Amino acid sequence: MRPTTRATTLEYALLGILDQDAHSGYELRRLFADTPLRYFSDSPGAIYPALRRLVARRWVAASAPAGGRRRRTFRLRAQGRQALRAWLTQPVTAQAVVHDPDSLTLRFAFMGQAASIAEIKAFLVGYEREMKAQLQVLREYHGALARGWPLTGRLAFEHGLALHETKLAWARTALRAVGGAKRGPDDRPRPARRPGPRDKG
């Protein structure tokens, strides 16, 4: 019954949003269409099936259509919160830095809700480490080969270098910002919702 494959970035994005508030499918689409989350597609053919999968995984619960409307709202369940936390607190790998940098940023954005300060710092330390390593690889490549390239190839490469440098600098700034943060609500993950008499999916 439960999907056996790993969840997609879109599914985790939905999870992260639902962690902050319950939403309907339509609201989620609007969010993807109108806010800086527009990075994701707002196509119904992506979002509604993704929500169904999340329900099938028992990570979110869907309300019954309310008030004569067909509108249903989705909210995170304890299992979903656990899955979100597992995703957020994964170690930062070189693999992810190269092939999926955007989902790293997404993970960090959601950490404030569901991760501890220690976990946030661990993320940033890993991010800094991997970005530094990757930057070194790129610089060596640049030094060895860029001379023979056409102008635009070299400039495009330097575009990539500059982005990596910016990311590295950001990680350091962010570490300082988090390090200086007072212990507060971000201190440790919010306790999971107490299981009710019956969590109906």
Report the interface residues with DNA, using CB under 7 A.
3-5, 7-10, 24-27, 29, 41, 43-46, 48-51, 53, 68-72
**Stretch near a second copy under the rule CB under 8 A, chosen from 5-13, 30-38, 43-51, 53-61:** 30-38
Distance CA(112)–CA(49), nearest Å, equals 27
Three-class SS of residue 22? coil
DSSP codes, 166-185:
HHHHHHHHHHHHHHTSPSST
Q: Does 157 contact a second copy by CB under 8 A?
A: yes
Distance CA(129)–CA(159), nearest Å, equals 20
Three-class SS of residue 27? helix
What stretch of H or E contains 152? helix 151-179
CB of 71 to a second copy, least distance (A): 25
The residue among 42 and 186 lying less far from DNA, judged by its C-beta, is 42
Distance CA(199)–CA(64), nearest Å, equals 14
CB of 13 to DNA, least distance (A): 9
CB of 26 to a second copy, least distance (A): 21
Angle at 67 between CA 66 and CA 70, to 5 degrees: 55
Q: Does 46 contact a second copy by CB under 8 A?
A: no
DSSP codes, 54-120:
HHHTTSEEEPPPPTTS---EEEE-HHHHHHHHHHHTSPP-HHHHHH-HHHHHHHHHHHHHHS-HHHH
Q: Does 111 contact a second copy by CB under 8 A?
A: yes
Q: Does 98 contact a second copy by CB under 8 A?
A: yes
Distance CA(103)–CA(7), nearest Å, equals 13
Q: Which does 149 bind (CB under 5 to 8 A by kind): DNA, a second copy, none?
A: a second copy
**Stretch near a second copy under the rule CB under 8 A, chosen from 43-51, 66-74, 75-83, 168-176:** 168-176
The residue among 47 and 171 lying less far from DNA, judged by its C-beta, is 47
Judged by the rule CB under 8 A, the positions of this chain that interact with a second copy are 35-36, 38-39, 98-99, 105-106, 108-113, 115, 120, 138, 141, 149-153, 155-160, 162-163, 165-167, 169-170, 174, 177-178, 181, 186
